[in-house]
Structure 1
Amino acid sequence: MDENNQQDLMRTIQMKFPRLSKGQKLIAEYILKHYDKAAFMTAAKLGTSVGVSESTVVRFANELGFSGYPKLQKALHDLIKNKLTTVQRIELSNNLINQENALKGVLKADMENIRSTLEKINHKDFEEVVNSIFRAKNIYIIGLRSSTALSEFLGFYLNVMLDNVRVVKHGISDVFEQIINIDKDDLLIGIGFPRYSSGTIQTLDFARSRGAKVVAITDSLLSPLATKAEYTLIAQSNMASFVDSLVAPLSVINALIVAVGLREKEKISGMFKELESIWEEYHVFSHKKEE
Structure 2
Amino acid sequence: MAKTETRADYSFDEFNAVLAGRFDGLSKQLKKIARFILDNPVDTALDTAAEIASRLEVQPSSLIRFAQALDFEGFSEIQRIFRSNLVQQLPGYSANYSDRIEKLKEGASENPGGAHPILNVFLEANRDALASLQSEVSAPRLDEAIATIRAAKNIYILGQRRSYPVASYLYYMMRNLDMRAFLLDGVGGNLIEQARLIGEGDVLVVATFPNYADEVISVAQQAREAGAKVIAMTDKLVSPVVKISDCYFLTDKVTVSGFRTITGTMCLAQALAIGLGLDSEQIARG
User: Structure 2-normalised TM-score?
Assistant: 0.63
For 2:214 and 2:242, the matched residues in 1 are separated by 13
Aligned to 1:282: none
Match among 146, 150, 158 for residue 134 of structure 1: 150
Is the radius of gyration larger for structure 1 or structure 2?
1
Contact 1:140 / 1:165 at 8 angstroms: preserved in 2? Answer: yes
- Counterpart for residue 240 of structure 2: 224
Q: Which moved more, 1:210-219 or 1:237-246?
A: 237-246
CA distance in 1, matches of 2:48, 2:263: 30
Distance, in Å, in 1 between the alignment partners of 2:179 and 2:240 is 30
CA drift at 1:147: 0.5
**From 239, 244, 252, the counterpart of 1:236:** 252
Paired amino acid for 1:109: A
Task: Pick the aligned partner of 1:209 from 225, 228, 247.
Answer: 225
TM-score for the superposition, normalised by structure 1: 0.62
The count of residues paired between Structure 1 and Structure 2 equals 219
Tell me what 1:65 maps to: 80
Counterparts of 1:63 and 1:260, CA distance in 2 = 40
- Separation in structure 1 between the aligned mates of residue 265 and residue 166 of structure 2, nearest angstrom: 8
- CA drift at 1:224: 1.0
Unaligned runs of 5+ in 1: 10-30, 51-59, 73-91, 267-291
Structure 2 contact 97–121 (Cα < 8 Å) conserved: no
Report the Cα distance in structure 1 between the residues aligned to 2:215 and 2:240, rounded to whole angstroms. Answer: 12
Report the CA distance between 1:223 and its aligned residue. 1.5
Deviation digits for residues 47-103 of structure 1, max 9, x if unmatched? 9x89xxxxxxxxx8589525869959xxxxxxxxxxxxxxxxxxx965663573322
Paired amino acid for 2:101: I
**1 CA distance for matches of 2:137 and 2:269?**
12
Give, in angstroms, the shift of residue 181 of structure 1: 2.3
Q: Deviation per CA, 1:187-231, whole angstroms, max 9, x where unpaired?
A: 111111122111110000000111111111112233211111001
Per-residue CA deviations over 1:4-29 (Å, capped at 9, x if unaligned) read: 435768xxxxxxxxxxxxxxxxxxxx
Once the two structures are superposed, the pairs formed by residues 1-291 of structure 1 within 5 Å of their partners are: 1-4=10-13, 5=15, 43=48, 46=51, 64-65=79-80, 97=101, 100=105, 101-263=117-279
Residue 124 of structure 1 and its aligned partner are, at CA, apart by 1.4
Go from structure 1 to structure 2 and tell me whether the alpha carbon gap of 1:187 and 1:62 turns closer, same or farther (over 3 Å shift). closer
